[in-house]
Amino acid sequence: MTVIYDRVALIGLGLIAGSMAHAMRAGGLAGEIVGYARSAETRAVARDLFCDRVCDTAAEAVQGADLVVLAVPVGAMEAIAIEIAPHLKPGAVVTDVGSVKQAVVEAVAPHIPAAVQFIPGHPLAGTEYSGPRSGFATLFQNRWWLLTPLEGTDPAALARLRSLLDAMGANVDEMDVARHDLVLAVVSHTPHLIAYTMVGVADHMRRVSEQEVVKYSASGFRDFTRIAASDPTMWRDVFLTNKDAVLDILGRFTEELFVLQRAIRMGDGDHLHAYFTRTRAIRRGIIEAGQDTAAPDFGRGVDPAKGTAGE
């Protein structure tokens, strides 16, 4: 591999930024990787594990960087953008890894200098683990990385960023900002909210029935808990900043749930069988698309420390 960016600045040093750093190091894709995180402990770990240099401020970290990656919670994006804006190198590219795009564009774009390209992005990859020790080089292999370029984006800057993501193993696609937020409300945001809710119900039941819910957890509930173990700050910001799309999909989910409730109440086995047959086909489609495997235990590898990729 050849160096694609001479200097990359990672603002926020958790799972995604750490995995990017490991992937860039493994492929020789960046000349220097500079990092910043709010926590001194996180900065120390990142310095030991994957950063060539770690700074005490975001403003210092972005100086001279050809690529700046904002890997902080969506709610922190605007403050970071304001801090780094005067220190960005002309010709640099700024991207992000936020799960919501419209809110990020509104928070970041107004503060980016005209001589800098802002190309919003979102890797559809992750695990239930967080923090600087959770990253690994293969996180993005065969996972989608969506870019939502804005009007007037320089094609050469976009192509360069795409080449980096390609080299890290990601499948890169482009999407309109509003479309992204609606699609992610379906495939990620609402499923996470349902998982949080189901685990909350089970926690209440556990208190009623002592330890049985946890002790006898089958695969369905166990995988709900995996999803519900995701970073609480990130998901708080996701739901608050993509609320319109999430509420739309929640409304549709509620309507579907009412139909299933009626079928169960009325003993309508034909309806249930037909419904489950259609939904089962979606699972087969995901496997055929290479986004999971048919292996037992939901395709998870033997190393639990790596979790399951896929947001």
* Per-residue pLDDT of the chain in tens (311 residues, 90 and over written 9): 689 999 999 999 999 999 999 999 999 999 999 999 999 999 999 999 999 999 999 999 999 999 999 999 999 999 999 999 999 999 999 999 999 999 999 999 999 999 999 999 999 998 778 899 999 999 999 999 999 999 999 999 999 999 999 999 999 999 999 999 999 998 888 888 888 888 888 777 766 565 666 676 666 777 777 778 778 888 898 899 989 998 999 999 999 999 999 999 999 999 999 999 988 888 888 778 777 777 655 444 544 344 443 45
Chain-centre distance for alpha carbon 96: 10
Question: What are the φ/ψ torsions at residue 53 (nearest 5 degrees)?
Answer: -150, 140
Chain-centre distance for alpha carbon 125: 6
Which residue type is seen at 198?
A: M
Left (φ > 0), alpha (ψ -120 to 50) or beta: where does 286 sit? Answer: alpha
Q: Return the pLDDT at 307.
A: 41
Determine how many CB atoms are found less than 10 A away from the CB of residue 82.
13
Q: What is the DSSP letter of 12?
A: S
CATH class entry, domain 179-306:
mainly alpha
**Fold assignment, 5-176:** Rossmann fold (3.40.50)
Strand residues in the chain grouped as ranges (E): 5-11, 30-36, 53-54, 67-70, 93-96, 117-119, 121-123, 144-147, 171-174
pTM: 0.82
Q: Where in the chain is the domain with CATH 3.40.50.720?
A: 5-176
Q: Where in the chain is the domain with CATH 1.10.3660.10?
A: 179-306
Q: Return the pLDDT at 161.
A: 98
Q: Return the pLDDT at 106.
A: 97
